[in-house]
Amino acid sequence: MIRGVRGATTVNENTEEAIVSATVELLAKLIEVNHIQPDSVASVLISTTEDINAAFPAKALRKFAEWTYVPVMCMREIPVPNALKMCIRIMMHVDTDIAQDKIVHVYLKEAKVLRPDLGSNLV
């Protein structure tokens, strides 16, 4: 079964270093808490708010050994008024037997406000 594993984080500045570093941190946590192996990943979608454009956050995935062939794509979020700024979101499509309600979705930094309804799944 393909499941969506979601996560989000924020950056304090629109620089390549901040974007890649925050994305590496988020990816590492998603991979760790969900025990994800690259061979089980169908694709990874990474979006940013319109105030992030100094680098492709997808560069972060290439810092992980054995993830070279995992398809990854960046895109821009819809600019909704009053939405969280400086935000990077990830949707990872993973082949897993884990039940939907057991997937651990990870929200870091200011992005913790995005999904308070996930309760104990928040890291």
Task: Give the pLDDT score at 69.
Answer: 95
Nearest residue to 60 via CA among 102, 20, 107, 118:
20
* Closest residue by Cα to residue 103 from 83, 120, 86: 120
H helices of 5-113, in order, are 16-34
Catalytic residue numbers read 6, 62, 74, 77, 89, 107, 115
Per-residue pLDDT at 116: 81
What local confidence, expressed as pLDDT, does residue 120 receive?
A: 46
Task: For the domain covering 2-121, report its CATH number.
Answer: 3.30.1330.40
> What's the rounded mean pLDDT across residues 97-105?
95
* Boundaries of every domain in the chain: 2-121
Average pLDDT, the chain: 94
Residue 123 has pLDDT above 60, yes or no: no
pLDDT tens, position by position, 9-46: 999 999 999 999 999 999 999 999 999 999 999 999 99
Instruction: Check residue 24 and give its pLDDT.
Output: 98
Q: Across the chain, which distance is largest between two alpha carbons, in Å?
A: 39
